[in-house]
Amino acid sequence: MTTTTKVSICLPTYNRPELLVRCIESCLMQTHANIEIVIGDDSSDDRTAQLVASRYGRDPRIAYRRNVPALGQAPNVASLFERASGDKILLIHDDDYLLVHCIEKLLAQWERYPDLEVAFGDQYETDHDGRIMHAASERMNLAYHRTASASGLQNPPGRVGIVQMFPNNGWLANAALVKRIGYDDHYGTCCDYVFGTRLCLAAKRVCYVNEYVSCYRITDVSVSQATRTSINASSIAAWRFLNSLALPPELEPARKLAMRRLVPIVVSLLARNREARAGLQLALGNLHAYRFGFSPRLYYHLLMIWKATRRPGSESVALLAIKDEQGVDTSRARMP
């Protein structure tokens, strides 16, 4: 299967040609050679188009399209899924990149489990220049429940998406399933999380490989980094989505686990953005997220809420919120 299966690598890009090159090169260097790279360019200038034409214009594996007008993050990804002609689809964002054996390692899981529909592995976290940060990578994967003891088939599969074990990109899945799920832009900057959750809920079998297969780059120019302290932050959108999601009883523990992580982040953001009453209601209505009052973080957030009610928009509230997010929220730029 590793030689006959065609894999479509879907690559959305926006105004980052200097980062895009490494991403494309990592795709072309895959040990699994039967690939196509489907690029959707939402850039506001011609730099990316010129770069792709000059460096890769004669490579039949690359299918580039400039979106005029720009489609936006989620519609761009959705269009890439529709254009993909492979049996499997892999998503990679333009500032991230794949390890050389990524597709081969993930695709091998279909040999072990012929009815598999989704496979994913660990991510390295890198700095802006693409240098791997090993300690940060270990913390990130641990925070997202990717451990050696969790490797193999996941039961139930839907839990993987809900608790954010499923990565924002670098995964591999059956093209038919991916196209059926599509990419929903109703939840803004957390569209990766929404897609991953819906994909895993719909999949019959999902496999986690306890090996590094891709690299996630920390940059200051991502959409969610630009909105991470605002009321439009991906964490708030993810909380709203998860709160409204209809789940069978066996997946309610997964929702509760996800809420345990999300609720304190959202409370902090609400306090910072002058939504003190909403923050207080959320905190008191989800005391399990604060170990029923045994977490010092609850009182830290109550202090933030109190300061917000006394001096709305004060600098002290903003500093408290920023410190709390930086100290606790280990979320990825495109995921809450």
Q: Does residue 162 share a domain with residue 274? A: no
Kindly state whether residues 232 and 209 are assigned to the same domain: no
Look-up: residue for tokens 């913390």?
A: 139
pLDDT at 335: 39
Domain boundary residue, one of 182, 206, 221: 221
pLDDT for position 234: 87
Asked if pLDDT for residue 331 goes beyond 60, the answer is no
**Do 172 and 240 share a domain, yes or no?**
no
Mean pLDDT taken over the chain:
90
CA gap 323, 268 in Å, rounded: 10
pLDDT at 58 over 90: yes
Q: How confident is the model at residue 322 (pLDDT cuts 50, 70, 90)?
A: very low
Looking at the structure, tell me whether residues 148 and 269 fall in a common domain: no
Please state the three-class secondary structure of 274-319 as a single string.
CCHHHHHHHHHHCHHHHHHHCCHHHHHHHHHHHHHHHCCCCHHHHH
Residues 81 and 119 in one domain: yes
Query: How confident is the model at residue 330, as a pLDDT?
Result: 33
> Could you list the residue range(s) of the whole structural domain that residue 131 is in?
7-221
Among residues 130, 171, 205, the alpha carbon closest in space to that of 9 is found at: 171
β-pairing, 118-126 with 35-41? unpaired
Q: Are residues 179 and 259 in the same domain?
A: no
Residues 272 and 171 occupy one common structural domain: no
Checking if the pLDDT of 102 tops 60, the result is yes
Judge if 193 and 313 occupy the same domain.
no
Contact between 277 and 323 under an 8 Å Cβ cutoff? The reply is: no
Q: Look at residue 1 in the predicted model and tell me its pLDDT.
A: 47
CATH number at residue 19: 3.90.550.10
Where among 162, 189, 221 does a domain terminate? 221
- Report, in angstroms and rounded to the nearest whole number, the Rg of the chain calculated over CA atoms: 20
pTM of the model: 0.88
Last residue of a domain, one of 174, 200, 221: 221
pLDDT at 91 over 60: yes
- pLDDT tens readout for residues 222-263: 555 555 556 668 899 999 999 999 999 999 999 999 999 999
306 or 152, higher pLDDT: 152
Non-local CB neighbours of 336 within 8 Å, separated by 6+ positions: 164, 190, 193, 233, 234, 235, 236, 237, 238, 239, 262, 265
Within 10 angstroms of residue 24's Cβ, the number of other Cβ atoms is 25
Provide the number of structural domains found in the chain: 2
CB atoms within 10 A of CB 172: 28
Q: Average of pLDDT values for 171-176? A: 98
pLDDT at 106: 98
Is residue 2 one of the residues assigned to a domain? Answer: no
Cβ(288)–Cβ(260) below 8 Å: yes
Q: Per the domain annotation, does 283 fall within a domain?
A: yes
Residue 220 burial class via C-beta count within 10 angstroms: exposed 0-12, middle 13-18, buried 19 and up: exposed
In a domain, 265, yes or no: yes
